[in-house]
Amino acid sequence: MSNTVLETYPFNEEEEKKLILREYRALLRALKERIKKGDKDRIRRAFEISADAHKDMRRKSGEPYILHPLAVAKIVVEEISLGVTSVICALLHDVVEDTELTLEDMEEEFGSTVAKIIDGLTKIAIVVDGNSETSMQAENFRKILMALAEDPRVILIKLADRLHNMRTLGSMARDKQLKICSETTYIYAPLAHRLGLYEIKSELEDLALKYTQPETYITIANGLKETKRERTKYINEFIKPIKEELVKMGLKFDIYGRPKSINSIWNKIRTKHVSFEEVYDLFAIRIILDSENEKEKEDCWKVYSMITNFYRPSPDRLRDWLSVPKGNGYEALHTTVMGAGGRWVEVQIKTQRMNAIAEKGLAAHWKYKEGAPKPQESKLDAWLQQLRDVLSNHKDSDTLDFMQDFKLDLFSEEIYVYTPKGDMRVLPKGATALDFAFDIHSELGARCIGAKVNYKLVPLSHPLKSGDQIEVISSSKQKPGEDWLNLVITAKAKSRIKYYLKEQKREIAEDGKAIVERKLKHLGVPLSSANAHELAIHFKKQSPTDVYYAIAIGNIDVKELKEFKLVGDRIIAPEKIIEVKPIEISEDETLKKPAKGAELVIFGESSDKILYKLANCCQPIPGDDVFGFITAGEGLKIHRSDCPNAARLLSHYGHRVVKTKWAKNKEISFLSGVRITGLDDVGVIKKITNIISDSLNMNMRSISIDTQDGLFEGTIMVYVHDREEFDHLCNQLSALEGINTVERIETSEM
């Protein structure tokens, strides 16, 4: 659900009615091919219920709220390729939450399937979009995955809902934008990726970047705009000979070039330490063939062979997802070739069926299931089954651990490995022999003592590569150990190891429990639930089981029970005397959470001062876009909005975030770092230090330079007053002859 406000926006009622009707008719046109007899009446009824339920509601932008469910329904049809049932659910997705209508009403009107999907959407809306301070985002994530496991349409509609909210995020307050963007990059973009919705995943990431790092987004967007004419000319020249040859080959095709997403370009700039102009693959050429099912592979390889006659391919950049599709059903042939002017160009070759799956993901995969070979057909279903297994094994575990474990499976690259019988298994890149054993069967993983990879004996921790054939070696005497958690990366393996460790701990705890029972019996009191919890509180353990375990392994001396007082059947822990020294705290040092909607000023008049710390993970300086985060033990910490930890903090603990802004204070300096690379020329260090110390009169704390093969890489820690001064320093250093890159150190790795 989107936040709403009452009618404060100037509007013309008649024009709004026309706009709503126009959007409704556009939805029906988009759905035209899928509508069967009776469907139109059901859609009309869903629209009327939704319109009536939201008649007095408006979005933050001021527009009528009904336009939101209409837009979500349209995304569901046009961009995810779902049908009538999903459209009805999209139109009604906020109704149960916002009105007195119940799920029983929905079931009576539209049937049990619609009611079940709306129930899933309502549960997600309550935990994700609600403002409850007690529910962490990790628990929400588990509920989202449970809804996905039950009926994937719940998540597909929710992704459409999130996409429209991201497209209209401009009217929201800054702190809301940051929270929503963090949820999007942390949860929804990875889910879209795993479900094969690449277009939606890219747009979600681009929109998140637009609001979290607006300057970066605008710079890259402008760069793409300015180079559009040049790119178009280059693409046309590149595809001209390919087009002519495809016609000669008698193939039906579409061929076009399109720019990479802004977020992917930014990732390359950031990870490869290059400028916008140096990102060589700003665009990709797509060749979409109209081929019959049985000739798809043959035609794609023919086209690849033809392209390599014109352009030289990069041998290590060939990606064959025809023979072995990705786990989410994606099929294509990718190659990177050297075009005119020494520019690398990525070429993607796929058929119309493959392209539909690439753009519509899970929904299109199911649509084309009937004509697909068996191994490809089962991949997504196998992943959903694995998801159900992991969820059932993780019921009692820590939700934050679960989220971190499972997130690795969502966004990781895949490898393809084989059993001794030749059956293929898909695992995330970096998976080990122990991951493979757990992937085959939980009991096999728990008894694994080693493996043979390509007939060679390897340890449990051996990392696997695509094409490896693995034989698991097991022993009935083997048991999982705590260190096993460091040997695996898959959510399934981690969850099963934690389960086995918990079971082992429970068995040992039974011995400790028997010791406690005997001791308490000797004292004349029973081991009741109340007494067990009294022990847990006294010994500072999370549960009585932890107390019993600690007693069994000797960490707690059972003799301490003598110090407990006996009151009837109860034991009362002895009081601990703690000497408390009074601490004087001035008014300026008192940490206060501001009133809702207020802004914290980090520097200003004395009345605005507040006890705070600058986060080491991102080292913010005045001028950076920042937010405040109230920690449990260290008071207020200031983080940059693009901090590596920002998405996790904003997603998990949104209620602890406070709006923060800088007030100028030239009296205080902040430590910041610069990474610099260039040619290892005589006198280059002197030039750098002259700029910092003499020209800019800055205080430098440290400088570290490493040279290799005629190049140098260095880090400089320098004190600056604000972002403006830091940017000026970077510009001055970049202007020096022989300097290749100058960038801010993103984390405190010094």
The catalytic residue positions are 97-98
Give the C-alpha distances (Å, rounded to integers) separating 240 from 255, 302, 310, 338. 10, 17, 11, 15
Q: What is the dihedral of CA 640, 644, 647, 650, to 10 degrees?
A: -50
Structure tokens at 204: 């979600």
Residue pair 452/471 in contact (Cβ under 8 Å)? The answer is yes
E-state strands within 554-609:
565-567, 570-572, 600-601
**Nearest-angstrom CA–CA distance, 343 and 348:** 16
Structure tokens at 706: 């490493």
**Could you give the angle at which helices 137-150 and 152-167 cross, rounded to 10 degrees?**
130
Closest residue by Cα to residue 599 from 644, 548, 661: 661
Residue pair 33/83 in contact (Cβ under 8 Å)? The answer is no
Q: What is the dihedral of CA 182, 492, 153, 142, to 10 degrees?
A: -50
Residues 6 or more apart from 472 whose CB is under 8 A from it?
Answer: 433, 436, 437, 440, 444, 448, 451
**Nearest-angstrom CA–CA distance, 62 and 65:** 8
Closest residue by Cα to residue 124 from 191, 178, 30: 191
What single DSSP character describes residue 414?
A: E
E-state strands within 42-189:
58-59
Structure tokens at 468: 């490896």
Cβ density class 311-340: b for 16+ within 10 Å, e for less: beeeeeeeebbbebbbbbbbbbbbbbbebe
Reported as half-sphere exposure (CB side, CA atoms, 13 A), residue 543 has a value of 8
**Nearest-angstrom CA–CA distance, 82 and 286:** 25
Sign of the torsion angle spanned by Cα atoms 325, 326, 330, 335? negative
E-state strands within 239-360:
253-259, 283-289, 312-313, 319-320, 333-338, 344-351
Give the C-alpha distances (Å, rounded to integers) separating 58 from 67, 473, 744. 9, 63, 42
Reported as half-sphere exposure (CB side, CA atoms, 13 A), residue 398 has a value of 8
**Nearest-angstrom CA–CA distance, 28 and 34:** 10
Which amino acid is residue 120, in one-letter code?
Answer: G
Which amino acid is residue 557, in one-letter code?
Answer: D
